[in-house]
Amino acid sequence: MAGLLLLSQFDPNLSAAGQNVSGLADGAFALATVIPLGWRRRWPLAVVVGVASVIVGRALAVGPVISFSSFLALIVAMYAVAAHGRTTLALIGAAVTALAVVVVALTDQQPSAPLDWVFPLFYFGGAWLLGRGTRRRVKHQRTLLDLNMRLEREHETEARLAVADERARIARELHDIIAHGVGVMVVHAEAADEVLGTDPDGARESLRQIQTSGRQALTELRQLLGLLRDDPPPASLTPQPTVADLDHLAREVSLTGLTAEIHIEGERYPLPAGLDLTTYRIVQEALTNAGKHGHADTARVCIRYRADELSVDIDDNGQCTDTPQPGNSGHGLIGMRERVALFGGSLETRRGEHGYSVHAVLPTSGAP
């Protein structure tokens, strides 16, 4: 607007016509055509009608000579009504502008050349088409933005549901473990009662087993109470898998075309039932991802027993790009993270040059 007002004071069209460009009338005319542009986004049709009306009024009163700044102001108004107005408003704005061009041309006493009609069509028609193109592009961008935001919300909702499902599954598994531990305590208590008078050493051993099972059951119970469960656990007669069942797991995944090598390092020691199950589930999920998403044909599993922690490493040679990325919230990774976090451990997943790797560290300080 400031540039157009400045241009109006040095307009070559008015100077060539011998008009007084510094007069009060020309200044008011410049203000009347430029100032309305400040509202071109809010009221685009009103602005184009106002600018065109001022230009037509001046042409009828003074003559057909139009200042270059007013010409540019009408082009800007035409673009604005096409870019910011609905289709109906844009068409009305185009009709008003065309009518203004015809009226101004008819005020000229000299005969019009064919190019006198082509040039306005080129300038104002081009501004109108450019405005409509801008409107379509902005509308498309907004549609994509809304779609992206909706997909993000759906993804977050799906991730929350996956977390809830995985926690419910963990709770059911821990429920079975605690029930088994309490059952062992009852059996040993009955055995101790039976031999208390005849075999004190046997009774004492049963009591020690009760203490061990009780401590493990309390640990699992504290972890269980940290989870929410919506449904009662289904009855299950199948024992929960442990690290000792990894060889069987490797044989199962080999049927899908994935060769899994299981390596155990360090001196084995008994693990709490929940931790034993978690280690198995991490390996199971990693091998499933390797075959399903990574299309790997080989994988190496290494379990390292250390003094106060258990290290789990799974490396495969998968090359497919649909393998879950580090930090991604796929359902498999959600399950791994939930299980590792339950025991205060850490989980890292990364893609290397030759495949995908999972590294988990689980504290075992509470192991007997």
Tens-place pLDDT, residues 92-126: 888 888 888 877 777 766 656 666 666 777 778 88
The residue ranges of the chain whose pLDDT is under 70 are 4-27, 63-68, 108-118, 173-181, 183, 215-239, 320-332, 366-368
d(CA 54, CA 293): 68
Sign of CA dihedral 255, 260, 266, 271: negative
Give me the pLDDT at residue 261, please: 92
**Edge-to-edge strands, sheet with 346-352:** 259-265, 298-305, 309-316, 355-363, 346-352
Domains of the chain with CATH codes: 2-112 (no CATH), 159-225 (1.20.5), 243-363 (3.30.565.10)
Residue with token string 């509202």: 39
pTM confidence score? 0.43
Q: Which residues, listed in sequence order, are joined to residue 300 by a DSSP beta bridge?
A: 261, 315
Residue 229 confidence (pLDDT): 47
Q: Which residue's entry shows tokens 């005020």?
A: 107
Q: Identify the helix (H) or strand (E) that includes residue 146.
A: helix 114-195
Q: What's residue 12's pLDDT?
A: 52
Block residue for tokens 């909706």: 150
List, in order, residues 6 or more apart from 196 with CB less than 8 Å away: 203
